[in-house]
Amino acid sequence: MHAAFHIFPSVVETAPPALDLREGSLVEQLVLTDRGQVVLVGDIALSEGRSPGRIVNATPDQRDYRLLLKAALLVAGHGRSGPLSVGTGFPTATVRSNAEAATALLTRCEPIGFDARPIGGPQVERLPVEVSNVSVISEIAACDVALREGPTRATGSHFMISLGFGTCEAALATPSGLVQRSSVSLPGIRYAVERAMHDVARTMPIGLRTEHQFDAHFRSGRITLGRERISLLDYRKRALDAYMENVITPALANAWTPEDFDRSEDLYITGGGALYPSMVDAVRQEFGSSLSVNVAPEPLTLAALGYAFMAARDAAPGTTSVGIDIGNANTCVCVLEQ
């Protein structure tokens, strides 16, 4: 079984100016039609939109979530026949309250309207999507599934820290599931992004950038102001160090007990925050004396892989298994192909 991944920024821009679309991939030029409006999603929203963004930790009853879900289903279903079995999820604190609404949204999905010109089609096509099965679990549980069933083949118990943009989750995972007492949900990397954005704005005019636009600069470690390229690495490191000191360390000091540390010697870091070396160094400094700290393989796509594995468990023959991780920074779609 082969896993194919598609990633696009989790931003939307409604009712943009008319665009002359160029030939390119569908995932890079997601132009949807929704209730009579044209909506840009992902990369094209960042490049062509005037104020691209989204509601952080949006729920299924909000338009931002619905648009990102439609874009993910379009990417997963285009060029494929037959129904989809879909796995998705939410932070632990909200997964139960959102599971029913997400399931209903997926199973009642209407044909998705999109501009097909970049891939050689007419201006507007409508893709019918049939979802035959839905699995909804917490994001950190999906990461654990992927660690155990994916290339890592993790066994036994291990700690996990999932560093997402809107939410950070941490827990001790055992072969029988997460230890709920050890599970915490905290503000995510957005805390550091907002801090760095504020620090930069105090000394330099950054313009009317949204936090999602600034997050792209935060991740790249540089920003162009006027015609000058400015490094953000020092700002980023200070912000991430403060995030570790003020948010993560105090919470885990209360959640993880000495008895928990007796049960495992391994800690896996995943999520977009695992891509920052200074963040990984901060976790190693905090836990390296008692745990072997590892960055999970492909941390940005790990949750989507876990969702896809969950979808595959209940998939009927002829069904395509899909994992959809609607993150606050990026949306990742994982398609399991035979």
Give me the domain span that covers residue 146. Answer: 141-188+255-295
Tell me, yes or no, whether 126 lies in a domain. Answer: yes
Exposed/middle/buried for residue 297 (C-beta within 10 Å: 0-12, 13-18, 19+): middle
Q: pLDDT exceeding 70 applies to what percent of the chain?
A: 98
Q: How many whole angstroms separate alpha carbon 260 and alpha carbon 240?
A: 26
φ, ψ of residue 187 in degrees (nearest 5): -55, 145
- Helical (H) or strand (E) element with 273: none
Confidence of residue 1 (pLDDT cuts 50, 70, 90): confident
Same domain, 152 and 122: no
* Paired tokens of 189: 């990397």
Confidence of residue 50 (pLDDT cuts 50, 70, 90): confident
Q: If you ran DSSP here, which 8-state letter would residue 182 be given?
A: G
How many separate domains does the chain show?
2
Q: Which of 12-16, 59-63, 169-173, 206-210 has the lowest mean pLDDT?
A: 206-210
> According to the model, what pLDDT value does residue 121 have?
79
Rg for the chain (alpha carbons), in Å?
20
Going by DSSP bridges, is the β-strand pair 266-270/158-163 parallel, antiparallel, or unpaired?
A: parallel
CB distance 178 to 172 below 8 Å: yes
> According to the model, what pLDDT value does residue 338 have?
66
> According to the model, what pLDDT value does residue 226 have?
79
Confidence of residue 227 (pLDDT cuts 50, 70, 90): confident
> According to the model, what pLDDT value does residue 35 have?
85
Same domain, 65 and 113: yes
User: Which amino acid appears at position 187 of this protein?
Assistant: P
Same domain, 133 and 7: yes
pLDDT in tens, 176-186: 999 999 999 99
> According to the model, what pLDDT value does residue 49 have?
79
Residue 253 clears pLDDT 90, i.e. is over it:
yes
Same domain, 109 and 179: no
Q: How many whole angstroms separate alpha carbon 31 and alpha carbon 249?
A: 42
Q: pLDDT exceeding 90 applies to what percent of the chain?
A: 72
Residue 208 clears pLDDT 60, i.e. is over it:
no
Q: Which of 10-24, 157-171, 254-268 has the lowest mean pLDDT?
A: 10-24
Helices (H), the chain: 43-48, 63-77, 95-107, 139-149, 190-203, 211-220, 233-243, 249-255, 258-263, 277-287, 302-313
Same domain, 88 and 169: no
Same domain, 107 and 156: no
Confidence of residue 146 (pLDDT cuts 50, 70, 90): very high
Confidence of residue 310 (pLDDT cuts 50, 70, 90): very high
Residue 16 clears pLDDT 80, i.e. is over it:
no
Same domain, 98 and 172: no
Q: How many whole angstroms separate alpha carbon 306 and alpha carbon 335?
A: 11
Confidence of residue 65 (pLDDT cuts 50, 70, 90): very high
The CATH number given to whatever domain includes residue 99 is 3.30.420
Going by DSSP bridges, is the β-strand pair 228-231/222-225 parallel, antiparallel, or unpaired?
A: antiparallel
3-class DSSP state of 275: helix
Exposed/middle/buried for residue 2 (C-beta within 10 Å: 0-12, 13-18, 19+): exposed
Label residue 38 left, alpha or beta by phi (over 0 means left) and psi (-120 to 50 means alpha).
beta
Same domain, 159 and 270: yes
Q: How many whole angstroms separate alpha carbon 55 and alpha carbon 166?
A: 10
